[in-house]
Structure 1
């Protein structure tokens, strides 16, 4: 089997920690161990499109409109799309957006381009029931064309979880507004718990804003970008992990990984991430500083869903199990006529 992986232009030029890139590379490396030849498409490359059995597209955008027609007639491969939906607006607003296009002025919407490209797409591979329902209600895709493939955690912990320390960890592109870092900091200041922030802070301007917000409060620490080894160490030490995003996360892989390392999780009630935890996490309103803060305090004071949460994640989102499942999905799709 030969599979092409195609990432959006915006992801290609972004950093290695981009969530879409991480998802694609994780799936690629996983099924390559099972004997699948996976080619990540380079925009400057020249390819024999007829050599592929599956063409798997991650994300969507106005670029689809030109790309898909150009390869559709040059391949017999089944085209799969993982739309990577992290929208916060309602389905009906996104549905309206599919009609809000003005070709004469070259004004298009990403949802409109996905709707127009639907005739080329054989199957949609989604990461959560949230994404599935969003496709069903927004583009009116039939259920038979949507397949659920959850994500797995990337980083395997040691057999024994170290004793935990009384602090809350957060990992993200800190300057990204949807990560809600400033409210998280405000909750730490108000409830006086130790908060450790790891991840690229984006720009010196944002870092100055964050430092000004923190002021003289020594309980908030900014580490910046950390290595994978350092990230593992933080997962091992932290008692709580918070991801209070205000814009729908697709999955929130860092929270999933933290749970496997024995952290208790404070997760947004927006989007699909909460589906992964089976009521074994603190599901909060990310706009409420008090809900964020009180949940973290409860964890630091000893209220826990562990080790049941860790066992749940390791059983249901095991990387080896999901790699085999992805391969079986590809095989099944190859046998289905368009």
Structure 2
């Protein structure tokens, strides 16, 4: 089986959740002896591939161009949508230009959904939204995103370098959607150490964050993903006050490391984490602050960690995905032979 992964052009330059998903799948496919090529150019020659797997329909144009221009009718085409409707967030934050761009992209997303064979949503809420917004009636299989077990770290990077022991951690791109500024404002009158980790995705927004951040709030931009284990394990609370998450891969990682978690209530988070974490609203500072205090007051435990390792691992994801691949290829072969 030869597979082509296709996604947005800036996958590596601007890493996000789809970057983590694709890297994890490629790694686990290698363990199964399956060759996967990654491409971001819609002019790719697809002749030698058995199956095309598309990722992230939020960035519709690149996927649309591939499907529109290439003869995919004899290829099995799978989509991991990573979709949530951003229109409410863009309206509430008064981003009119981005809202117009998002709405205009819905036509392309509908076309993509009409020309794939199988969708792989990560939860029931995602596929319900896709059915409602695009009248999607094709095959789908819900496969929740995964996480890798974290190796126990004996030392604390943050304590050794900054002297912070019991801190709040927030991992993600520094941008408006991740809402770090509200976290800063929620804790500005407290001495709780806060550690932000992530690349700057919006320079102006980052400057606003730095302007309001206190001395007990630090920003780290150049940390490799494998170095995060120490930060997760030594944080007491992990906070993701984003405008939406589906469900937040970094929250899964924090949960596996034993953190108490506070997350936005918007998106698919509640479907995944149920009542095992604390929730907040991104536009309510008291909600964010209250969630953090509750998480800091609660002793850390292995309850969430064990639940995640039982239900949400990349090995489980790949096993289920390969079953869907094989089934789809058999159907496609029979269809072509008719």
TM band (smaller chain): 0.7 to 0.9
The 1:147/1:302 distance shift into structure 2, 3 A limit, reads: same
- Which secondary structure state, in structure 1, belongs to the residue aligned with residue 199 of structure 2? coil
Instruction: Give me the whole-angstrom Cα distance separating, in 1, the residues matched to 2:122 and 2:155.
Output: 28
User: Structure 2 length normalisation: TM-score?
Assistant: 0.83
- Aligned 1:84-233 pairs, distance under 5 A: 84-89=82-87, 109-142=104-137, 145-154=139-148, 156-158=150-152, 165-174=165-174, 176-202=175-201, 205-214=204-213, 217-233=214-230
State whether residues 62 and 108 of structure 1, in contact with CA within 8 Å, keep that contact through their aligned partners in structure 2. no
- 2:7 paired residue number: 7
Tell me how far 1:155 sits from its aligned partner: 5.4
State whether residues 170 and 243 of structure 1, in contact with CA within 8 Å, keep that contact through their aligned partners in structure 2. yes
- 2:96 paired residue number: none
Segment of structure 1 superposing worse, 145-154 or 199-208: 199-208
The 1:230/1:8 distance shift into structure 2, 3 A limit, reads: closer
RMSD value over aligned CA atoms?
2.8
Tell me how far 1:59 sits from its aligned partner: 2.0
- 1:238 paired residue number: 235
Give 4+ residue runs of structure 1 displaced > 6 Å after superposition. 159-164
State whether residues 241 and 258 of structure 1, in contact with CA within 8 Å, keep that contact through their aligned partners in structure 2. yes
Instruction: Give me the whole-angstrom Cα distance separating, in 1, the residues matched to 2:251 and 2:109.
Output: 29
Tell me how far 1:275 sits from its aligned partner: 2.1
- 1:102 paired residue number: none
- 1:270 paired residue number: 266
User: Structure 1 length normalisation: TM-score?
Assistant: 0.83
**Cα-to-partner distance string for 1:32-79 (whole Å, 9 max, x where unaligned):** 2112111112528753x2322211111231344432133225x62211
State whether residues 181 and 209 of structure 2, in contact with CA within 8 Å, keep that contact through their aligned partners in structure 1. yes
State whether residues 42 and 65 of structure 2, in contact with CA within 8 Å, keep that contact through their aligned partners in structure 1. no
The 1:170/1:126 distance shift into structure 2, 3 A limit, reads: same
Tell me how far 1:127 sits from its aligned partner: 1.5
- Which secondary structure state, in structure 1, belongs to the residue aligned with residue 218 of structure 2? strand
Tell me how far 1:5 sits from its aligned partner: 0.5
The 1:228/1:42 distance shift into structure 2, 3 A limit, reads: closer
**Cα-to-partner distance string for 1:136-183 (whole Å, 9 max, x where unaligned):** 1111112x6121121111452339999994211001111x10101011
Tell me how far 1:4 sits from its aligned partner: 0.8
For structure 1, which runs of at least 5 residues remain unmatched after alignment?
Answer: 94-106
Tell me how far 1:274 sits from its aligned partner: 2.7
Segment of structure 1 superposing worse, 150-159 or 294-303: 150-159
Residue 58 (structure 1) aligned with residue 55 (structure 2): yes
Segment of structure 1 superposing worse, 314-323 or 132-141: 314-323
Tell me how far 1:307 sits from its aligned partner: 1.3
For structure 2, which runs of at least 5 residues remain unmatched after alignment?
Answer: 92-101
- Which secondary structure state, in structure 1, belongs to the residue aligned with residue 166 of structure 2? strand
- Which secondary structure state, in structure 2, belongs to the residue aligned with residue 81 of structure 1? strand
The 1:37/1:230 distance shift into structure 2, 3 A limit, reads: closer
**Cα-to-partner distance string for 1:257-305 (whole Å, 9 max, x where unaligned):** 011000011011111133221310002212111111111112222355x
The 1:235/1:288 distance shift into structure 2, 3 A limit, reads: same
- Which secondary structure state, in structure 2, belongs to the residue aligned with residue 242 of structure 1? strand
